[in-house]
Amino acid sequence: MNLKCKHSCEKCRYEVSFALLLIIVSSPYVLSVRFESSTHASKNTFLKGSPPNNITDLVVPFGYPLEQHVLTTEDGYVLTLYRIPSSGTHKSGNNPAGNKPAVLLSHGLLDSCACFLLLGPGRALAFMLADQGFDVWLGNARGSTHSRNHTRLNTSSPLFWAFSFDEMAKYDLPAQLDKIVEVTGHTQVSFVGHSQGTTVLLAALASQPHLNDKIKMAILMAPVVFTQKISSIPFLTLASLGTDQIFTMMGVNEFLPSDKVVALLEGSLCYMQPALCLNILSAIAGFSQDNVDPDRLPSYLKYTPAGTSVQNIAHWSQAVRQALPRTLYSFDYGSDCRVMRDGVTMCNWVRYGRPDPPAYDLGAVRSPIMLVTGGRDRLSDAVEVEYLRESLAAGVVFQELHIERYEHLDFTWGRDVADTVYRQVLEVLFQQT
């Protein structure tokens, strides 16, 4: 197969897979009016402005310093950590120079560290932390826009995409913590995560108890651990139809890569049907109609979705389909060891030495935790947040903040999230420093 043909086939696979996703999410539920074109999503408003192109463009023009740190995990993935070491020309906050506590921000599924920057100075969490004297570190999960390298594999290899949040917990988070400790000299790091970022932390602390000593405290926004009561129709449909298996059979190993999706969205869908585009974004995870600035949506689309692996989506689909509630399992490779995946025999017996995947022992988590939840969150159900609280050891959850009107993405996109959530987060971080 020549190079031109190869690229054509790859483009076709992505277009077909994206079309399939649109069919799935374009259900009557999604098409019910959530955003009116004339009010919130006119063509001119949706496509207004020229969004920034990279993380540097989101930080440096506002007078903040930015460092890029590259680290390599034990299994060879090359990840990017961004650091805002100070507030630059802005106020120094309450922490004197040279004594800045380190905070790691961890993004959710299909997102990147940009989610903590896109609201801009004074409103985005990363800037607010820097202004108050924190040493801010922004993580990027393997396979997302800013962490797509490997020491041996390239992104065209199916083996590059053979990961889920298991590997993020086993390799990515420990490597990020080690890098922060190495650079700053601190022995402990505070953690703020959103969505899948909270899952990765809990899985890491549960499976590697020594990591609890490195986490000073953790603030979990819209935590997602148990998923049997989620009410996101597109997500439930993805799981029930086995869409992850369809993608795999099509030879698609990467799920919603940012550059290809943005090209499709900006080129057609969001221009011709902006309300539909917003409905799709809202239906998958959810954000409040009146709490999102439509002028910022071009920037949100520029950075989201940031991509992940089909295997990671498969892991979440397994979690939705699993029979036992209140349990977070490792990825299920199946019990048939005759099946080969990309030329490698992989099954639960080979991977785990047992016929079924092991569960994470959340009772092993010792780091102090604050839970921040929303009453209208379709992915972080209130009942399952209660299950999470009960699964953790007594006293681990030391504080909670509940915003009844908040949906899943309001915690990163909300107009009022700075006053409603982030200021309380800052207060808690100060109390623990």
| Residues belonging to the active site | 195, 377, 408
Indicate the SS3 state at residue 21. Answer: helix
Whole-number CA gyration radius for the chain: 21
Task: Residue count of the chain, please give it.
Answer: 433
Nearest Cα residue to 111 out of 362, 314, 284, 329 = 284
E strand or H helix at 193: strand 189-194
Q: What is the spatial distance between Cα 362 and Cα 204, in angstroms, rounded to a whole number? A: 10
Query: CB under 8 Å to 395, separation ≥6 — which residues?
Result: none
Q: Which residue has the tokens 């009557």?
A: 28
In angstroms, the CA 367 to CA 217 distance is 6
CB atoms within 10 A of CB 192: 27
DSSP state letters, 232-252? -HHHHHHHHTTHHHHHHHTT-
**Separation between Cα atoms, residue 188 and residue 180, nearest integer Å:** 9
Distance CA 182, CA 109 (A): 27
Q: Are the beta carbons of 137 and 102 closer than 8 angstroms?
A: yes
Cis geometry, peptide bond prior to residue 305 (ω within 30 degrees of 0): yes
The SS3 of residue 409 is: coil
* The one-letter amino acid at 397: V
3-state secondary structure of 335: coil
3-class DSSP state of 345? strand
* DSSP assignment of 292-358: S-GGGHHHHHHHS---EEHHHHHHHHHHHH-SSSS--BPP---S-TT-EETTEE--HHHHHSSSSPP
250 class by beta-carbon count within 10 Å (0-12 exposed, 13-18 middle, 19+ buried): middle
Largest CA distance in the chain: 61
- Dihedral of alpha carbons 115, 118, 120, 122, sign: negative
**CA distance between the termini of the chain:** 59
**What SS3 state is found at 137?**
strand
